[in-house]
Homo-oligomer: A and B are copies of this chain.
Amino acid sequence: MNKCEQCIVRKLNSLGELTKDELVRISGCKSSDFVKKGEILFEEGDHINGVFCIKDGVCKVTKMSSNGREQIVKLVKKGDLLGERSLVSEEVSNLKATAINDMEICFIPKEEIVRDLKSNTNFTMSILKEMAVSLKEADNVIVDMAQKTVKQRLAETLLHLNKTYGSEDLDKPLDIQLSREDIASIIGTATESAIRLLSAFKKEKLIHLKGKEIYILNPKKLQHIAEGF
């Protein structure tokens, strides 16, 4: 089993605030796992009781609406933590996490992390900061969902994906493979509508599509569309 204190991934999230001694202890109680594409990390109703640290891969975090459609609430990637909320809540999860591609993850039990949360101020403040950022982002998503058209939201989402999974090289596709259904589930629309708009963007040469590969050709124009022009 790999050691947390030697793992580069910890530097990407709040775990980087832990001391060497704390990391050694965490290392001793954590479990590591490989998760295949399509497999479920946890579901709505599960007791999580710990935090996932994503070493590699991407998963989608979803919530089922009462209409019976799944909404992707966020994408979690290498370096991110998942399940922080379980640390300060006794409730079961209201979210489901599914691997988008093959993943490598670690799981740290709640009791161990909570210990540090109560003793290491830097760590706590870092978690607080992460939550604050998440809250701000959530507010932005709410406003977009409420006020923007599906077309604007698709443009927005493509730009967002480009920022996170795009390369400087315009000839390379986004480093994430989403189904059309996933894309629709991010922007909150019917799969057919997402497909239609993607086709329209392709026709306007804003993007290029090759199977599930997406090339962002004209981010500037996409930005204009996202802003309502």
* Contact bitstring A73-90, B, C-beta under 8 A = 1, else 0: 100000000001101110
Chain A residue total in the interface (Cβ 8 A):
46
State which of B73, B128, B132 has its C-beta within 8 Å of the C-beta of A142: B73
Q: How many copies make up the complex?
A: 2
Q: Which residue of B lies closest to A228 (CB)?
A: B67
Within 167-220 of A, Cβ neighbours of B (below 8 Å) are at 187-188
CB distance A139 to B228 under 8 Å? Answer: no
CB distance B228 to A66 under 8 Å? Answer: yes
Q: Which residues of B contact A127 (CB under 8 A)?
A: 128
**A135 vs B221: C-alpha distance in the bound complex, in angstroms?**
32
Q: Which residues of B contact A226 (CB under 8 A)?
A: 66
CB distance A132 to B63 under 8 Å? Answer: no
CB distance B132 to A89 under 8 Å? Answer: yes
* Contact bitstring A132-158, B, C-beta under 8 A = 1, else 0: 111110111111111110001000000
Q: Which residue of B lies closest to A125 (CB)?
A: B88
CB distance A132 to B132 under 8 Å? Answer: no
Q: Which residues of B contact A128 (CB under 8 A)?
A: 87-88, 117, 124, 127-128, 131
Confirm or deny: A11 has a beta carbon within 8 angstroms of a beta carbon on chain B: no
Q: Which residue of B lies closest to A187 (CB)?
A: B146
**A36 vs B227: C-alpha distance in the bound complex, in angstroms?**
34
